[in-house]
Chains A and B, each alone.
Chain A
Amino acid sequence: MPKHNTLKSIQAAIQNGETNGVSLVDYYLSKIEETKELNVYVEVFAAEAKERAKVLDQKYKKDPTTVGRLYGMILSIKDVLCYEGHEVTAASKILEGFIAPYSATAIQRLLDEDVIIIGRVNCDQFAMGSTNENSNYGPTRNAADPTKVPGGSSGASAVSVQADTCLASLGSDTGGSVRQPASFCGIIGMKPTYGRISRYGLLAYASSFDQIGILSNSVEDAALLLEIMAGADEFDSTASQSPVKAYSKQLSFDKKVKIAYFDTALNHPNLDAGVKEETFTFISKLKEMGHTVEAVDFEYLDYIIPAYYVLTTAEASSNLSRFDGIRYGYRSPNATNFLETYTKSRTEGFSEEVKRRIMLGTFVLSSGYYDAYYTKAQKVRRLIAEKTKEIFSTYDFILMPTAPSTAWDIGTMSNDPVQMYLADIYTVQANMVGIPAIAIPLGKHENGMPIGVQLMADKWKEAELLSFAQKIS
């Protein structure tokens, strides 16, 4: 079976009788087996996926009009999304053996359209990390070069698509966790507007930043998945009531647009020369297409990372308090009293990076430090939001590299967390402000690794963002 890059091509093949759900699942299961050494899947739902495919094939055979819009879509999900009756651990020992008693709203909406979930994939523990090395299951490797990291935290989600073990994957994006690995693996990574997709059933890292995101080979699949998952949800008060557009049907684009980029970003000392060159080449290409691309001032770039880490760790320190060994998850066998049940379960259950962030967040919220850190960071967030809004009053999109470099060697970042945090410089703005952003592949670096470029749009402008991305990718 040839590799399919879009659901449309799969559905055409099904229609022509070239394939069906069962053979698709078999194909992807064989790819999962082939790429085992990349350590992508932490659990493969093989039997279940086959069974579901069989049922759907029968349904299709009886009457092709009765199957859902995602018939033929084989999906992997990041280990932070609840799928009823399946284990979900956030790649952490503290949730070892925990079975989700309900499905995330996003997952349920996809299931209702006959998606097949083929397995649960690795990630950085509690989505904290940029390399997928911070996992209870060990590191995931980049399929383009197994000595490199796939990025993170949705690293294995990216590799699952990159290595053709599924058609698309769901990840989560708190500060670039979908876009950066997409960029490192040469695929599409889409983070919608904050509130576009319900977070119910997504294990929280930083509640006011988290969004479910999509990793795929094509913009059109991202558009379709978004369209199905998006929309109001009574179980998430932060999910927007604003109507969901038919993104997948509005992908044609023939306007000339105005695009802003930040001088400070493209001339940043940490930006790899090769990535910079490719980005400028891309800008020239856009100009040739008749679009306006201009440099604008953005004086807050260097404040983004510190403010982001203050705010996200503050929220995380609170969000992760529920993992106490009392009601579910890991309880330390070494605890001999009430207090130790907490301290030992949490000390033994969380990874070093997770504990680092919990402590950082606890510190910035503690009395005496609150104003200096948390309040200040909130102020920075507000300023960045205002500035971004101002840019969008003139420009349709903001263009940025996705990451300052291509994928790192495995092991290089794990001893230098600050260096790793700084690499989020181009992606966190979208989360700070809550705007949609998409990472699209931009060819290869001379080192052979994929490069990505990122486009951001104003809030709720997913339709414009996706159709423009479709046009230029």
Chain B
Amino acid sequence: MSVYEKYETVVGLEVHVQLSTKSKAFCADDTRFGARPNTHISAISLAYPGTLPRLNKKQVESAVKLGLAIGSKINQESRFDRKNYFYADLPKGYQITQDASPICIGGQLTINANDAERTIRIHHIHMEEDAGKSIHDMSPKSSFIDLNRAGVPLLEIVTEPDFRSPEEVDVFMNTIRQLVRYLEISDGNMEEGSMRCDCNVSVRLKGAETYGERCEIKNMNSMRFARRAISYEVKRQIDLIEAGGKVQQQTLNFDPVTGITTPLRDKEDAHDYRYFPEPDLPPVHLSDSFINNLKTQMPPLPQELFKQFTSKFSLSDYDATLLTEEKETALFYLDLVKNTPHHKAAANLLINKIKPYLNEQKSSVATFPLSVKSLADFIQLIEDGKVSNTIAYQRIFPALIETPTQTPLAIAEKLNLIQNADEDFLQQLVQEVIKKYPDKVTTYQKGKKGLIGFFMGEVMRLSKGKADPKATNALLRKVLEKQ
């Protein structure tokens, strides 16, 4: 057993989710990503003298929705606090956040990592505002500041130290990403910084009761980096302990180029943020009716849908995962199966045909031209044996897209694609094939039964795909065995 296996990894996360509200947390500035520097600003976001914050109701709604989704207790009297520190991209000299009384308390999220279900407890979710951006590497003499992001609303999700591997962290982040997209409160886009996390990492001997001293890796905005950073940090801590050292509580920076963590500051230099109640904002009072109203607006959640898809519709975990990745696909599927009893066929159609088609078109189900009724008919056509799956996918589907007002049956008829199970029709085709390949017939009869596929193919070709495969197969066997 290697020394590393003696230890258990313990990680807790602080996940920052940037909300996709139109305006900032405490003023009307635009929040869109990618604008020219310092164009989404105002007297309020620049902290001009005399300006005051005013709360964005959408931020509160987003927080409550996320809280409801993970089973938090919604705090009906939450409060804002000021977190004081000086930095050039923090215009007020303090961040408005929630410290003592956050909006959502508790909750949990179940994740599936390494084929095991794990429950991650949520400590709380609070509302806060983002800082601007400082750019120190554009000029050797000057720093540059972009305040477009200053004041953009964030939710911070603080977990208990319940992660036991970097993979779990990865899965959790993806689960959160999926959830916030379902709730339509954030685009969850890590590349654009819409989701970031701080990882609190410690190690302890397996079976130990107490946690080890932790280090905080700041600002991970890529899951690949986060996994590497945690793995590196775990190894560093174990090596340190094994060499007789002690882990010091520190704030760390991870350098993706070198792959190592380096201290930003020690505990002694830790900021004293001097939190105190924000006097410019009254407590956030949430009425029962406000919360109940949001409850009625909650979309079905991915984990519920997954369960429904695998149990009620008997889909495989794999199919259910694919279908629940995006809310609109899942909802489309739900809509579709209301119109057809063929749940698996519907899943196949969505996964193998419609999704690739939409990807290719760079389009979404919202603008997909075919109605679920038409798609249900399309499935029924296959299930009734009127057309083969291949023919349906390759010929009828594109034709249907071209003329969505036509029924799949009408198209199949028009293109002369309806399968034929008529005995006389099939008999004629089978005889023709047998005559054409006497050698193969002999080989078959000598025992090489696999040739049935060859004969099937020939019949299908001759029939231009119209021969009913089941009936053809039966007839072929009957005829071949007889001779």
Contact = CB atoms under 8 A, between A and B. Distances in A.
Contact of B280 (A201, A237, A366): A237
A21 B275 CA distance: 51
Interface stretch (A98-106, A183-191, A218-226, A400-408): A98-106
B84 A365 contact: yes
A207 B47 CA distance: 14
Contact of B274 (A237, A318, A322): A318
Q: DSSP class of A's interface residues: helix, strand, loop or mixed?
A: loop
Interface string A94-135: 010010111010000000000000000000000000000000
A82 B49 contact: yes
A310 to B, nearest CB: 11
B143 interface: yes
B276 interface: yes
B84 A201 contact: no
Interface in B82-113: 82, 84, 86, 88, 91-94
Interface in B158-210: none
Interface in B1-52: 43, 46-52
Contact of B281 (A200, A237, A366): A237
A88 B54 contact: no
Contacts of A317: 84, 274
Contacts of B51: 200-201, 235
B43 A366 contact: no
A374 to B, nearest CB: 6
A338 B143 contact: yes
Nearest to A82: B50
A175 B58 CA distance: 36
A81 B279 CA distance: 19
A202 B282 CA distance: 18
A88 B88 CA distance: 23
B145 interface: yes
Nearest to B281: A237
Contact of B52 (A200, A323, A324, A362): A200
A199 B48 contact: no
Contacts of A207: 279-280
A318 B92 CA distance: 8
A392 interface: no
A90 interface: yes
B272 interface: yes
B279 A321 contact: no
B82 A366 contact: no
A193 to B, nearest CB: 15
Interface string A221-234: 00000000000001
A322 B47 contact: yes
Interface string A67-85: 0000000000000011000
Contacts of A100: 48-50
Given A237-B53, A327-B47, A328-B48, A321 B94 contact: yes
Contact of B276 (A81, A204, A314, A338): A314
Nearest to B89: A326
Contacts of A237: 52-55, 280-282
A365 B50 contact: no
Contact of B50 (A104, A320, A321): A104
B286 to A, nearest CB: 15
Contacts of B88: 324, 326, 338, 341
B86 A362 contact: no
A196 B281 CA distance: 15
Interface in B244-290: 272, 274-276, 279-282
B274 A324 contact: no
A447 B86 CA distance: 49
Contacts of B92: 321-322
A236 interface: yes
Nearest to B92: A322
A234 B280 contact: no
Given A237-B282, A342-B86, A365-B84, A326 B52 contact: no
A370 B282 CA distance: 22
Chain B, interface size category, equals 20 to 34
A327 B91 CA distance: 8
B47 to A, nearest CB: 4
A203 interface: yes
B341 to A, nearest CB: 55
B274 A366 contact: yes
A34 B96 CA distance: 48
A326 B51 CA distance: 17
A135 B314 CA distance: 78
A235 B43 CA distance: 12
**Among B92, B94, B276, B280, which residue has the most Cβ atoms of chain A within 10 A?**
B276
B272 A366 contact: yes
Contacts of A164: none
A393 interface: no
B135 to A, nearest CB: 13
A367 interface: yes
Nearest to B147: A327
Interface in A200-254: 200-204, 206-208, 234-238
A100 B84 CA distance: 25
A315 interface: yes
Contacts of B272: 366-367
Given A321-B92, A362-B274, A95 B49 contact: yes
Contacts of B274: 317-318, 362, 365-367, 370
Nearest to B38: A327
Contacts of A366: 272, 274
**Among A202, A235, A367, which residue has the most Cβ atoms of chain B within 10 A?**
A235
A341 B49 CA distance: 19
A315 B279 contact: yes
Interface string B54-97: 11000000000000000000000000001010101001111000
Contact of A236 (B43, B52, B143, B276): B52
A320 B48 CA distance: 11
Contacts of B280: 207, 237-238
Nearest to A104: B50
B143 to A, nearest CB: 6
A318 B50 CA distance: 13
A234 B27 CA distance: 11
Contact of A208 (B43, B86, B279): B279
Contacts of A324: 86, 88, 93
Given A101-B43, A237-B280, A321-B93, A200 B50 contact: yes
A366 B272 CA distance: 7
A283 B93 CA distance: 48
Nearest to B145: A326
Contacts of A200: 50-52
Interface in B324-344: none
Contacts of B143: 338
Contacts of B282: 237-238
Contact of A234 (B47, B54, B279): B54
A237 B53 CA distance: 8
Nearest to B275: A365
Interface in A307-340: 314-315, 317-318, 320-324, 326-328, 338
A93 B38 CA distance: 26
Contacts of A370: 274
Contacts of B279: 206-208, 238, 315
A323 B55 CA distance: 23
Contacts of A236: 52, 54
Contacts of A365: 84, 274-276
13 contacts: A82-B50, A100-B49, A200-B50, A200-B51, A204-B50, A234-B54, A236-B54, A237-B54, A317-B274, A318-B82, A318-B276, A327-B46, A365-B84
Given A88-B50, A342-B86, A367-B272, 4 more contacts: A90-B49, A237-B282, A322-B92, A365-B275
CB-based closest 5 A-B pairs:
A321-B93, A207-B279, A208-B279, A365-B274, A322-B47
Interface of B: 43, 46-55, 82, 84, 86, 88, 91-94, 143, 145, 272, 274-276, 279-282
